[in-house]
């Protein structure tokens, strides 16, 4: 029997829409084709609210709210693209670029990167902060995949997809603040992980070039984050999900599946 959800009238950028009770501002906006930029949010996974790119202004509230983690309430008035929000988004992006080592020119995801795309949208033509240039060793111990933490923004999509969808929970976040970083198998090299199923959902979900297939060269890595929502829907509706060609594996395309 189809689920009956109570309607809640809200206004987003002067457009009145019928949101559902229990829905986030971001979900409601997307259903009505209103674009709010996001990064850590991924349809099909739990909400993390880490990146704050999706901040919106809600009438009567001084602080901007993350649209992914704010539920709709009756008569809510939301603005998604004010000058203040544009400024906040650009600052957040500049901080992300300054925090890691994001060298687009030599990145596997150059041209296929959500971080790069958000920077273009935000008009980020340079970074005003000092680059931290942290030393972050690459983990290439896994036979099939590589983790390059230099390009990681700790959005935790991989952590969530591995735990919630695959059920393996290989990934975790270690440390706090600017030292927060991803670990596999509680800090063991990924290649020694006994819980990793080699499913590749983490690679598919990654918004940047932090996770990619072994053997990928500059610009070759294309992620498939939509896979998660399709998989979740197929499970819910008990539909057959056809095997997925991994779009990001140059080795497999060459018939050399390691």
Partner 1 sequence: MTEKTRLATVWLGGCSGCHMSFLDMDEFLFDLADRVDVVYSPLADIKEFPDGVDLTLVEGAVANDDNLELARLLRARSTTVVSFGDCAVTGNVTAMRNPLGDPQAILRRVYVDKVDRDGAIPDDRPVVPALLPRVLPLHQVIDVDVYLPGCPPPAARIRDAVVGILDGTLPRERGEGIRFG
Q: Name the site residues for partner 1 (rule: CB under 8 A).
A: 97, 101, 103-107, 110-111, 116, 119-120, 123-127, 130-131, 133-136, 150
Q: Which is nearer to partner 1, 107 or 146 (CB)?
A: 107
Residue partners of 119: CB distance under 8 A and separation at least 6: 93, 97
Shortest spacing between CB 137 and partner 1, in angstroms: 10
Least distance (Å) between residue 6 CB and partner 1 = 41
Smallest distance from partner 1 to CB 196, Å: 27
Least separation in angstroms between CB 226 and partner 1: 22
Question: Considering beta carbons, is residue 150 or 184 the nearer one to partner 1?
Answer: 150
> Minimal distance in Å, beta carbon 232 to partner 1?
32
Looking at the Cβ atoms of 111 and 167, the one nearer to partner 1 is: 111
Q: Specify the residue, 178 or 258, whose C-beta has the smaller distance to partner 1.
A: 178
Q: Which is nearer to partner 1, 87 or 133 (CB)?
A: 133
């Amino acid at each position: 029997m189809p689920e009956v959800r109570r309607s809640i009238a809200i206004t987003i950028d002067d457009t009145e829409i019928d949101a559902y009770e229990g829905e986030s501002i971001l979900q409601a906006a997307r259903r009505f084709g209103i674009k709010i930029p996001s990064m850590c949010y991924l349809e099909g996974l739990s909400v993390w609210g880490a990146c704050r790119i999706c901040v919106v202004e809600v009438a009567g509230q001084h602080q901007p709210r993350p649209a992914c983690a704010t539920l709709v309430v009756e008569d809510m008035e939301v603005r998604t693209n004010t000058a203040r929000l544009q400024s906040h988004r650009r600052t957040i992006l500049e901080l992300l670029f300054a925090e890691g080592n994001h060298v687009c020119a030599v990145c596997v995801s150059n041209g296929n990167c959500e971080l790069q795309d958000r920077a273009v949208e935000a008009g980020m033509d340079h970074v005003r902060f000092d680059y931290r240039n942290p030393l972050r060793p690459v983990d290439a111990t896994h036979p099939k995949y590589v983790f390059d933490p230099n390009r990681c923004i700790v959005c935790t999509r991989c952590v969530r997809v591995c735990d919630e969808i695959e059920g393996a929970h290989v990934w975790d976040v270690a440390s706090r603040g600017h030292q927060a970083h991803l670990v596999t198998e509680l800090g063991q090299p990924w290649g020694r992980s006994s819980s990793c199923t080699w499913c590749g959902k983490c690679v598919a979900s990654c918004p940047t070039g932090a996770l990619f297939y072994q053997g990928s060269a500059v610009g070759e890595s294309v992620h498939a984050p939509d896979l998660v929502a399709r998989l979740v829907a197929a499970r819910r509706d008990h539909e057959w999900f056809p095997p997925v060609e991994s779009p990001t594996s140059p080795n497999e395309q060459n018939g050399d599946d390691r």
